[in-house]
Amino acid sequence: MAYNGVMPSARSRAMVREARHLLFTVAPGAIWIVIFLVLPGAYLMGVAFMTNGPYGLPEMPLSLASFERLAGFGFLGWSPGNLYTLLRSLWQTAVSTGLVVLVAYPIAYYITTCREKWRPIMLLLVVVPSWTNQVIRTFGWMNLLAPGTPLSGLAEGLGLIAPNMGLYPSNFAVTLGLVYNFLPFMVLPLYAAFEKLDTAQVEAAQDLFASPVRAFWHAVFPQTLPGLLAGIVLVAIPAFGMYVIPELLGGGKGMMLGNLVATQFSGGANWPLGAAGAILMLIATFIGLFAMRRIGKRLGGGEEVVI
Amino acid sequence: MPNNKKILALSLGGLLLAGSVQAQENKLYLFNWTEYMDPEIIEAFEARYDVEVVQNYFNSLPEMFAKLNAGGVSQYDIIVPSNYFVPRLIQTGLVQKLDKSKLENLDNIMAQFQDPAFDPGAEYTVPYQWGTTGIVYNTETFPEAPKSWSLMFDPKANPEHPFALMGDGQVSMGGACAYLGHGYDCTDMNAWKEAARLLIETKGRETFSGFTDGTPALQQLARGVTHVGLSYNGDYLFFKEEDPDSFATLDFMIPDEGAEMWVDSMLIPSEAPNPDMAHKFIDFILEAEVGAQLSNYNYYASPNAAATPYLDEVLTKPPVQPSEADMERLRFTPSLEGDALQTFQQLWSEVQSR
Amino acid sequence: MRKRTLKRGLTAFWWATLAFLYLPLAVVVLFSFNAANSAASFTGVSLRWYYQLMGNEAILSAFANSLVLAITSSVIALVIGCLIGYGMYRHRHRKLGWLIVLIYLPIVLPDIVFGISEMAFFVQIHRLTGLLQPGLGTMIIAHVTFQIPFVALIIYSRFVGLDPTLFEAAKDLYASPFKRVVHFMLPTIKPALISAFFLSFTLSVDDFVISFFTAGPESATLPIYIWGAIKKGVSPEINAIATLMIGAVAIAAIMSLLFSRRRHA
């Protein structure tokens, strides 16, 4: 402790002072977050348990109707629309996170093999596009993938898409947009992991295992795992709740959970249903976080994963 | 440290205050469709009444309704929704009754607009413009296009060219209803279900491009992103005038199975910050010459009888004034409430998420 | 031999990825100078879209709003976040689990949930008290909320990286706590302060969803304006605004590079 030298008689006074110090430093921020995030969040959860009014606003009495609606039950019996949306979100998240890993892994490694003075510049080059607004980045892809553009022409020539159609709007465009948007979030933690790589261990593994694949699997991969998991958390969670990219690039076929939730508020349809969707999103997020922590603890050899 | 806290408390208080005293006396907040107002009219109004007009825009009625519910009800002085959203605005208490003693030019309105079905007695609304929602298509792609919704809903009529439906579910659903022979303004549950199934099927086709609002649909058509889309007659003419090259191969058509006719009206939100100025604005738009200037600018038909002598010639013929045959096929989009609205929204969200 | 092929392959992959990262931005910049209103064909160089921007009051005010929002929120977040960061460090031996949860909450919450909860809550509060009318004020509040954690964590890790005896030395050197803050604490964490401010600023500029849901009629930011323009379907003008923003980011990138170079030298 920092206050070893304090006289016993003064200890209680010091403790009060310390407590007050804690209050002064931590309280403003804690109160801010409680008032402007925890309370709103709690209110939104409350809304999910209210009845949907005639024009989409929450009303009393409390009910579970919006959760039933979310599960697909309505006036018309059960329908799979929301389930499709949920599955599409999970699928898009999984595919785009996987692709991001496939691209980021070699990139992060490559940067560590370059000369030290180049590395900050290389990292900067990877990160800079994400400093522009995500609406602008997505708009760039709208331009690139629209019908009649060279990329669309190429895809058409290869028979990948129907004639006259562009690559956008489509689910493919959404995946691409997600990969583009989140690539830097994977490169950074992976780079940090590669930089700390214990080369002695790798060299030992190279002697021990005949094939480089096995050497990689046993010596390199486990060491980069914490970075990889941190990257997955940083990519998968926001990707799952993404709103802008499917809205702009999906063109009505690519609705994800974020769009379902947003439409209930920005398209004036059903606040309680939107709130219930938000709860579903939160649950999925926390399950994902929890799972990552568990995996990280089990595989990471006790090393704590960031977040 | 305590000093910091005081500063913090002060700045926080300042923030709250800043949030609450935003609306000022000498401003008028107008919430309108995009590309729907002549900037010169705004300038003239600002000059006459020494106010600043702050304009905000929406692309669809659901968006407008949502914004009002999300605090807009106390932030806008005038909104300009279409006929079928008026009853729900009135019933939710989002709009206030007009003070007709402040509206000297009410008599300028054409007789057929004086007592609309969506607002009996015209207690809340003053008509702004009226028009139609039709199909805009590429005449090079479809030199012999049928005058029909089949350009969208029949894969044989349009096998391989991208098309977009309307973002506002009621219009897309109405189109599907019309194509199926139930009429554009169908509200029958079974007809709706059939229409929703058709929409889901249509969405599944490779050439379906998306649900697009009326104004951007035209931009997509002009840039060749789509070859068939849904838009408004006046917007079509407006952008054709702006960009004649791109629009040379685009035509506007009212399908024979029936389509939408609408009236947009000016209303005052119930907690409008400046209702007095809002009345002045409505009265200003009702003036004969201003009303004509508005229509001449945005190519929509005017509900203002006194404005007729000042209107450009283009406003007296199709597509601004539909032919008599087309006129008979045009319907108002039904205004939904209660169970019908809930059912519709469930069907529509099903269409969107498939 | 094999190693060299691997290295060559990686180099090629690196350049391909860079192309992937910069292609969309390059296309936006290129077509902002396009004479024609087309995303498919480039017909000639022209500045017409930039001329169109210049007289546009809405864009200017959106630009001003973005700037005011980013700077104000970053400054507030810096003050509050610094306090928490320091508090967390000073009291790191206590059990502060609840505080950690609170601080991570804004980070892990999906944007859309964040945005709609604040919107719904602000609307309700406004209905009851007349406070918190949607506008720049509510947007600043929302932005500060998601900036605080990042500032706190940066400052905290800076303090953790310091030699604890420094604090003892400073205590001997400066009698008043105020002087200690001004002459010791702030100078020591200056680099962390700068990067925290910079990160807050970037987060604010990058945000669209939360701003979108908390904005009022006069507080549209550039991203909100661009979103509206995309939804309206006007393309070439967006290219021009976006290019200006990309240019600003490029300048910021070069500056941060020079800054870090100087620090290393």
| C135 at B interface, C-beta within 8 A | yes
Q: Is the model's pLDDT at A79 over the cut of 90?
A: no
Q: Is the model's pLDDT at B5 over the cut of 80?
A: no
Touching A: which chains, 3+ CB pairs < 8 A? B, C
Mean pLDDT of A290-296: 84
Lowest mean pLDDT among B19-33, B200-214, C143-157: B19-33
Lowest mean pLDDT among B33-37, B274-278, C44-48: C44-48
For residues B303 and B334, membership in a common domain is answered with: no
* Sign of the CA dihedral running B336, B338, B340, B342: positive
Pick among B57, B75, B250 to test the C interface (most C CBs inside 10 A): B75
| Position B214 in a domain | yes
Give me chain C's average pLDDT, please: 88
Touching C: which chains, 3+ CB pairs < 8 A? A, B
CATH of the domain at B93: 3.40.190.10
| B11 at A interface, C-beta within 8 A | no
Lowest mean pLDDT among A275-279, B21-25, B57-61: B21-25
The answer to the question of whether B84 is labelled as a binding residue is yes
The pLDDT value given to residue A210: 67
| C182 at B interface, C-beta within 8 A | no
Asked if B140 contacts B228 with a C-beta cutoff of 8 angstroms, the reply is no
The residues, any chain, with a CB within 8 Å of residue B214's CB and separated by 6 or more, are B59, B60, B133, B166, B230, B231, B232, B235
Q: A-side interface with B, Cβ within 8 Å?
A: 21, 24-25, 28, 52, 54-57, 69, 74-76, 79-82, 84-85, 146-148, 162-166, 169, 250-253, 255, 260, 263, 265-270
Which of the four pLDDT bands, split at 50, 70 and 90, describes residue C264?
Answer: low
| Position C104 in a domain | yes
What's the total number of domains in chain B? 2
CA separation for the pair C199, B51 (Å, rounded): 40
Q: Which domain holds residue B211?
A: 131-261+326-353
For residues B124 and B217, membership in a common domain is answered with: no
Superfamily of domain A85-299: MetI-like (1.10.3720.10)
Which of the four pLDDT bands, split at 50, 70 and 90, describes residue B354?
Answer: confident
| Position C136 in a domain | yes
CA separation for the pair B300, B321 (Å, rounded): 9
| Position C179 in a domain | yes
**CB distance A131–C249 less than 8 Å?**
yes
For residues B52 and B106, membership in a common domain is answered with: yes
For chain A, domain boundaries: 85-299
The answer to the question of whether B35 is labelled as a binding residue is yes
Asked if B263 contacts B334 with a C-beta cutoff of 8 angstroms, the reply is no
Minimum Cα–Cα distance from B212: chain C residue: C231
* Sign of the CA dihedral running C201, C202, C205, C209: negative
Q: Which domain holds residue C209?
A: 56-234
CATH of the domain at C92: 1.10.3720.10
The pLDDT value given to residue A300: 57
CA of B344: how far to CAs of A76, A265, B168, B170, B261, in Å? Answer: 10, 17, 12, 8, 20
> Quick check: helix, strand or coil at residue A160?
coil
> Quick check: helix, strand or coil at residue B163?
strand
The residues, any chain, with a CB within 8 Å of residue A116's CB and separated by 6 or more, are none
Q: Which residues of chain A lie closer than 8 angstroms to C80, CB-CB?
A: 28-29, 32
**CB distance B219–C140 less than 8 Å?**
no
The pLDDT value given to residue B186: 94
For residues B68 and B197, membership in a common domain is answered with: no
What's the total number of domains in chain C? 1
CA of C147: how far to CAs of A1, A296, C76, C221, in Å? Answer: 31, 27, 9, 18
**CB distance C123–B69 less than 8 Å?**
yes
| Position C36 in a domain | no
Which of the four pLDDT bands, split at 50, 70 and 90, describes residue C1?
Answer: low
CA of A136: how far to CAs of A130, B11, C213, in Å? Answer: 10, 32, 18
The pLDDT value given to residue C69: 96
For residues B222 and B347, membership in a common domain is answered with: yes
* Encoded tokens for A265: 């508020």
- From the list B62, B160, B342, the residue facing A267 with the nearest CB is B62
Asked if B32 contacts B282 with a C-beta cutoff of 8 angstroms, the reply is no
The pLDDT value given to residue C252: 84
Lowest mean pLDDT among A14-23, A92-101, C67-76: A14-23
Distance from CA of B191 to the nearest CA of C (A): 31
| Position B11 in a domain | no
Lowest mean pLDDT among B112-126, B226-240, C160-174: C160-174
Mean pLDDT of A30-48: 96
For residues B147 and B182, membership in a common domain is answered with: yes
Give me chain A's average pLDDT, please: 86
Q: Which residues of chain A lie closer than 8 angstroms to C39, CB-CB?
A: 142-143, 146, 148-149
The pLDDT value given to residue A303: 46
For residues B241 and B349, membership in a common domain is answered with: yes
Asked if C130 contacts C229 with a C-beta cutoff of 8 angstroms, the reply is no
Lowest mean pLDDT among A44-53, A104-113, B301-310, C233-242: C233-242
Q: Is the model's pLDDT at C234 over the cut of 80?
A: no
User: For residue range B130-160, what is the model confidence (pLDDT) as tens digits?
Assistant: 999 999 999 999 999 999 999 999 999 999 9
**CB distance B208–A69 less than 8 Å?**
no
User: For residue range C98-129, what is the model confidence (pLDDT) as tens digits?
Assistant: 888 999 999 889 999 999 999 999 999 998 98
Q: Which of residues 16-75 of B touch A (CB under 8 A)?
A: 60, 62-67, 69-70
Lowest mean pLDDT among A233-242, A273-282, B162-171, C2-11: C2-11
Burial A69-107 (b: 16+ CB within 10 A, else e): bbebebeeeebebbeebbebbeebbebbbebbeebbbbb
Q: Is the model's pLDDT at A14 over the cut of 50?
A: yes
The pLDDT value given to residue C65: 95
CA separation for the pair A278, A276 (Å, rounded): 5
| Position C74 in a domain | yes
For residues B223 and B296, membership in a common domain is answered with: no
User: For residue range B334-349, what is the model confidence (pLDDT) as tens digits?
Assistant: 999 888 988 898 899 8
The pLDDT value given to residue A166: 82
Mean pLDDT of A222-240: 90
CB atoms within 10 A of CB B184: 26
* Encoded tokens for C71: 């700077």
| B339 at A interface, C-beta within 8 A | yes
| C104 at A interface, C-beta within 8 A | yes
Mean pLDDT of C11-21: 96
In the beta sheet, which residues pair with residue B259? B330
The pLDDT value given to residue B20: 46
The pLDDT value given to residue B22: 47
Residue with the bigger pLDDT between B158 and B18: it is B158
Residue with the bigger pLDDT between A94 and C1: it is A94
Give me chain B's average pLDDT, please: 91
- From the list C10, C117, C167, the residue facing A40 with the nearest CB is C117
The pLDDT value given to residue A207: 79
